[in-house]
Chain A
């Protein structure tokens, strides 16, 4: 397994990417683009993303992780980020990999990253497989949760009443708002709010993995409902639940080894007919 970091030139500045590759002698089993969540979830999940990328590369997959516009070490500030610009970044990363290999393409997302890869897949010409980690199914609900950070921090200081209304008003008027150190532009809020995890019609296989704090992990009702609907529409899709901490939001950086194993299995094993 080898890994390197470099910048990919983009229409707006450049994006930091991390490339994890198997040894050259190995046959490539697939090409994977990883799309991160945003805000603090990005920071909390870096470790798990790196562990998974290494494990995938050791198992014969080439993995490209991209820092989206305004995130990590890529160009721009978070306030510059828009949903469309992020979709373009996913396309950029996918195209880069596809120029180098014809191996089957996987788009792998975590949380809000799943909304992005799903929409990006929808716009692609060729078949693409999807690996979802704890997907956000409704951008609208997710935005609400993000805005709550502000409500919560004001609650710690005073009572937090009326904060949500004020924030939504500011976004409606085209003002950026600052939440937990992130400047949220109206264009990003709007794109996120409209994003919904709908069945992309060009997907090959969908592997949906959820992480549960319970020892007897089971898929959420939301996941089961959507997967059932997709399967009924003829989509090859499989849901898996593993036990472990919600590593993208725990106070300390945590790991979920069961997820690493389940993801490798998901990539390599066909869904039984």
Chain B
């Protein structure tokens, strides 16, 4: 499983980005930069990642830094998967 591709696919689906997410690099800012990423979308994103990867996110693990950029989100997912 390619984690970056999976995360990008989840982002694209949840935010209805119509393929735009595939052009994202790790430096691409997310929170505050993508208008679609509101509180609903943040929750949908966390839930989808949990379901897709089978990990559980504790609420004290979530803060703005996790969604600052694609790279930060990938680091978070890698950390959760222990890889």
B22 adjacent to chain A (CB < 8 Å): no
Q: Is the CB of A152 within 8 A of B42?
A: yes
A145 and B14 contact, Cβ closer than 8 Å, known pairs A155-B64, A159-B63, A213-B9: no
Q: Is the CB of A246 within 8 A of B48?
A: yes
B75 adjacent to chain A (CB < 8 Å): no
B25 CB to nearest A CB, Å: 22
A64 CB to nearest B CB, Å: 29
> Looking at A40, A159, A160, which has the most chain B CB atoms within 10 Å of its CB?
A160
Q: Is the CB of B44 within 8 A of A249?
A: yes
Q: Which residue of B lies closest to A44 (CB)?
A: B40
Q: Is the CB of A152 within 8 A of B39?
A: yes
Q: Is the CB of B40 within 8 A of A249?
A: yes
Q: Which residue of A lies closest to B36 (CB)?
A: A251
Q: Is the CB of A160 within 8 A of B36?
A: no
Q: Is the CB of A160 within 8 A of B44?
A: no
Q: Is the CB of A152 within 8 A of B13?
A: no
Give a binary string over B27-45; 1 marks a CB under 8 Å from any A CB, 0 the rest.
Answer: 0000110001011111110
Size band of the interface chain B makes with A: 20 to 34
> Looking at A155, A249, A251, A252, which has the most chain B CB atoms within 10 Å of its CB?
A251
B82 adjacent to chain A (CB < 8 Å): no
Q: Which residue of A lies closest to B13 (CB)?
A: A213
Which of chain B's residues have a CB closer than 8 A to the CB of A72?
none
B81 CB to nearest A CB, Å: 15
Q: Is the CB of B31 within 8 A of A149?
A: no
B42 CB to nearest A CB, Å: 4
Q: Is the CB of B15 within 8 A of A251?
A: yes
Q: Is the CB of B42 within 8 A of A213?
A: no
A25 adjacent to chain B (CB < 8 Å): no
A168 CB to nearest B CB, Å: 10
A250 adjacent to chain B (CB < 8 Å): yes
B72 adjacent to chain A (CB < 8 Å): no
Q: Which residue of B lies closest to A159 (CB)?
A: B63
Which of chain B's residues have a CB closer than 8 A to the CB of A161?
60, 63
Q: Which of B49-83 contact A (CB under 8 A)?
A: 51-52, 54, 59-60, 62-64
Other than A149-B40, A155-B64, A246-B44, give 8 A-B pairs with Cβ distance below 8 A: A151-B62, A155-B39, A156-B32, A159-B64, A160-B64, A213-B52, A246-B13, A249-B44
**Chain A residues within 8 Å of B, Cβ to Cβ:** 40, 144-145, 148-153, 155-156, 159-161, 163-164, 180, 213, 220-221, 245-246, 249-252, 254
Can you name 15 A-B pairs with beta carbons within 8 Å? A148-B43, A148-B59, A150-B39, A152-B43, A153-B38, A155-B63, A159-B63, A161-B63, A180-B39, A180-B40, A213-B10, A213-B13, A213-B48, A249-B44, A251-B15
- Pick the 5 closest A-B CB pairs, nearest first: A153-B39, A152-B39, A152-B42, A252-B16, A164-B59
